[in-house]
């Protein structure tokens, strides 16, 4: 068993050791030499070995200094470009350039994500989606359930709506704690992300959607009308619901992706 560094413990990193699982993840990613591939948190290299073998040269972002040194000793620069950085601060647009891919090349992303930053990474992929083609990512099962939830279910929430506006996400398979070292007490889920072909969500609309979701899901057990009234007042709430053609007696979890998009498009006129 590999001993974790203090930083690894802080980030909640658990290393994948299940070879069969690694093979399934790489197969789902479909790596090739013509794709610009970024691995998030390569750790001990369980996925890296197979990715390099299939794609020839990839990039990997790792924050833990001892792991960075180990990866650079193990792989040559012409096989693996190791980026010693916090993935949340990494400009994804720069990665393809570091791999000598043509300007504007989209990334294919893979990673066993540290549980503590999995949701911020999901939000990063939403913000920087223009340079992401597809991804195969591992999350804590509860987070994966939120990412793939349907309206009307308890798992459906802001994370579902935000990611669902820009990606089609599906769960591929679950992995027990025994697939990792150190062994976590939770189940992990591998998800496949495909960026939607039509994405007209502007930066302003995205900000409005985030504000709208924060209000609508502020008190999950309250009716949509009550949550909106608390933030906008009764008159603006009535006008907004009428303009969006929404039933204010519903809870936020019953509102579909399309209805939230419509609500957010009107948000600034009433907020």
Is the same domain home to 209 and 140?
no
Q: What mean pLDDT, rounded, does the chain reach?
A: 93
pLDDT digits (tens, 9 = 90+) for 201-217: 888 889 999 999 999 99
pLDDT digits (tens, 9 = 90+) for 119-147: 999 999 999 999 999 999 999 999 999 99
Is the same domain home to 83 and 17?
yes
- Does any domain span residue 129? yes
- Does any domain span residue 175? yes
Long-range contacts made by residues 114-120, C-beta under 8 angstroms, separation at least 24? 114/11, 114/12, 114/13, 114/41, 115/12, 115/14, 115/139, 115/140, 115/143, 115/184, 115/186, 116/10, 116/11, 116/12, 117/11, 117/12, 117/87, 117/88, 118/143, 119/143, 119/159, 120/88
pLDDT digits (tens, 9 = 90+) for 8-49: 444 557 999 999 999 999 999 999 999 999 999 999 999 999
Structure letter (DSSP) for residue 251: B
Q: What is the residue range of 229's domain?
A: 203-270
**192 pLDDT more than 50:** yes
- Does any domain span residue 182? yes
Q: What's the confidence (pLDDT) of residue 12?
A: 58
Is the same domain home to 86 and 177?
yes
- Does any domain span residue 1? no
- Does any domain span residue 244? yes
Q: Given 166, 195, 224, which residue is the final one in a domain?
A: 195
* Domain count along the chain: 2
């Amino acid at each position: 068993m590999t001993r974790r560094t203090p930083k690894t413990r802080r980030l909640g990193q658990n290393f994948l050791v299940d070879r069969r699982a690694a093979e399934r993840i790489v197969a789902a990613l479909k790596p090739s030499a013509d794709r610009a591939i970024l691995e998030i948190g390569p750790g001990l290299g369980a996925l890296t070995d197979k990715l390099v073998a299939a794609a020839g040269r990839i990039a990997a972002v790792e924050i833990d200094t001892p792991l960075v040194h180990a990866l650079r000793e193990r792989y040559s620069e012409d096989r693996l470009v190791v980026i010693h950085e916090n993935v949340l601060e990494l400009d994804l647009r720069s990665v393809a350039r570091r791999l000598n891919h043509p300007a504007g090349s989209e990334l294919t992303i893979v990673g066993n994500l540290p549980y503590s930053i999995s949701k911020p990474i999901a939000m990063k992929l939403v913000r920087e989606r223009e340079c992401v083609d597809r991804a195969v990512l591992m999350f804590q099962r509860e987070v994966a359930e939120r990412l793939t939830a349907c309206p009307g279910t308890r798992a459906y929430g802001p994370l579902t709506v935000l990611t669902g506006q820009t990606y089609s996400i599906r769960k591929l398979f679950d992995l027990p704690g025994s697939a990792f070292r150190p062994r976590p007490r939770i189940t992990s889920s591998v998800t496949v992300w495909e960026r939607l072909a039509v994405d007209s969500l502007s930066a302003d609309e995205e900000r409005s959607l985030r504000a709208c979701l924060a209000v609508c899901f502020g008190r999950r057990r309250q009716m949509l009308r009550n949550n909106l009234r608390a933030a906008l007042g009764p008159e603006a709430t009535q006008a907004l619901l009428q303009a969006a053609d929404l039933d204010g007696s519903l809870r936020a979890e019953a509102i579909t992706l399309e209805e939230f998009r419509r609500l957010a498009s009107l948000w600034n006129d009433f907020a």
